[in-house]
Amino acid sequence: MPADSPRLEGLNEDHARALAESGTEFEPILVHRDTGRVIDGMHRLRAVVLRGEHRIAVRHVDGASADLFIRSVQANIRHGLPLTLGDRKAAVLRILTTHPHWSDRAIAAVTGVSPKTVGVVRGKRSTEESPQSNPSLPRVGRDGRARPADMPERREKARSLLTERPRATLREVAQEAGVSVSTAHRLRQELRSGAPDPDERAPGARGDSPYLAALVAAPPRYTGLAALPSPADRSPRGVPGIRVRALDVLSNDPSIRFTDSGRALLRWLNGQAQGLAAGEQLLAAVPPHCARALTEVMSHYAREWERLAAGMQRTDPVNGAWRAVR
C-alpha cells in the first residue's frame, strides 16, 4: 500500500528514476505489518518497479498509525531526498494534532525544525480552536517526563516566594507554587549563587525514556554562536558581521545540527570564537619583549586558517568532501 508520506507533493519521479539507474542494492523498506502500508521507502519501491524487478526486501514494523507517521518523518529527515520546509511544518501540525502533549523540543527533534517554529505552529493552532477543545495539557519532553505547560510561570512564582519569604520551607514553597521540592531547592540555590536554573537552560533535555528515546533521538539546538563576538562585531557590515551571519546559518542548518560531525564542528567553532574573545584580554598582558615570538606563533596559526579556508573554497558541493578536492 502507498505510504502515508509527509511529502506534500508526493513521489518525486526524477529521484526514483535516479535511484533506479544507480544500480545500487537498496536497504529494506519499512512496511506496517497489519496494513501493508509503506512507512519508509516509496522511492526505493518505485525504483525497483522501474528496473522491472518483482521483489524488494522488507522490514515489518508494528504500531499505531500516528506513531508510524512520526517514524516516517524521522526516516525521511535522516536520509534520502530531504523534506522541504513546508513538508516539515505540515508534519509539525499533524504531530501537534496527534501528540499535543509533546513538548516543542520533542516535536522539533522529530521534524528537523527549531523549537521556536513548533511554538509558532502550536500558537496558531491554539488560536483556531476554542479554549474548551485545547486544554493546557502537561508537555512530555525528550526525556519522556511530563511537565506542566505553565512550568515557567510556576518557577517564577516560586522565585517570588523564596525572595519574599526567605524563612519559608522548601516544601511550603513547592506546594504553593506547584513545583517539586527539588525544583524549589534549585531555585533557592540559584538565587543565592546567581547561576541560571538548569531547567530553564535546557527544559526537557534530561533523563531517558525507552519510548521517546527511540522516537526522539535528536541533538540539542546550538545557540549563541553568533552572540560570542563583541558588540563591535555585531555590525551588519564588514568581515565581523559576515562571520556572525555565517555562524548563525551553520548553527540553524538541520544538516549540521542533526549530525554527529556537524555538532562536533559547531562545538569546535564555538571554542574558536571563545578563544578569540579570551585572547584579546590575554594579549593585553603580554610583556613587550615577548611580542615578536608571539607574533610568529599567531602568524603561523593565521596561515593554517587561510590554508583551510582556501581548501574549503575549492570544495566540490556535489561529488565529495573538501579533502578530496584540495
Same domain, 97 and 17: yes
Report the distance separating Cα 189 and Cα 186, nearest Å: 5
Domain enclosing residue 158, as ranges:
148-193
Residue 30 in contact with residue 74, Cβ under 8 Å? Answer: no
Same domain, 186 and 111: no
Same domain, 111 and 157: no
Report the distance separating Cα 138 and Cα 100, nearest Å: 9
Report the distance separating Cα 151 and Cα 100, nearest Å: 16
Q: What are phi and psi of 187, to 5 degrees?
A: -65, -40
DSSP letters along 203-215, please?
A: TT-SS--TTHHHH
Residue 154 in contact with residue 148, Cβ under 8 Å? Answer: yes
Q: Is residue 326 part of a domain?
A: no
Same domain, 91 and 170: no
How many C-beta atoms lie closer than 10 Å to residue 75's C-beta?
16
Pick 318 or 243 by higher pLDDT: 243
Report the distance separating Cα 204 and Cα 304, nearest Å: 40
How many C-beta atoms lie closer than 10 Å to residue 95's C-beta?
22
Q: Is residue 250 part of a domain?
A: no
Which cell goes with 304? 593554517
Which CA distances in Å does 15 have to 69, 71, 102, 205?
22, 21, 33, 36
pLDDT in tens, 133-145: 444 555 555 555 5
Which cell goes with 57? 526486501
Same domain, 178 and 107: no
Same domain, 83 and 35: yes
Q: How many domains does the chain have?
A: 3
The pLDDT confidence band at residue 210, using thresholds 50, 70 and 90, is very low
Computed over every residue of the chain, the mean pLDDT equals 74
Q: Is residue 21 part of a domain?
A: yes
Q: Is residue 116 part of a domain?
A: yes
Q: Which of 35-44, 99-108, 169-178, 203-212 has the lowest mean pLDDT?
A: 203-212
Tell me how many helices (H) and strands (E) the chain has.
Answer: 15, 5
- Smallest CA-to-CA distance from 205 within 261, 140, 264 is with 140
Same domain, 73 and 168: no
Same domain, 102 and 163: no
Q: Is residue 52 part of a domain?
A: yes
The pLDDT confidence band at residue 239, using thresholds 50, 70 and 90, is low
Same domain, 103 and 183: no
Report the distance separating Cα 262 and Cα 97, nearest Å: 31
Same domain, 101 and 169: no
pLDDT in tens, 57-93: 999 988 888 888 888 888 888 877 888 889 999 999 9
- pLDDT for the residue 136: 52
- Smallest CA-to-CA distance from 265 within 233, 219, 202 is with 219
How many C-beta atoms lie closer than 10 Å to residue 20's C-beta?
19
**302-312 average pLDDT score:** 83
pLDDT in tens, 258-301: 777 777 887 787 777 767 767 766 777 778 788 888 888 888 88
Q: Is residue 320 part of a domain?
A: no
The pLDDT confidence band at residue 23, using thresholds 50, 70 and 90, is confident
Same domain, 25 and 104: yes
Q: Is residue 214 part of a domain?
A: no
Report the distance separating Cα 41 and Cα 307, nearest Å: 42
- pLDDT for the residue 128: 58
The pLDDT confidence band at residue 226, using thresholds 50, 70 and 90, is very low
Same domain, 27 and 117: yes
**8-28 average pLDDT score:** 88
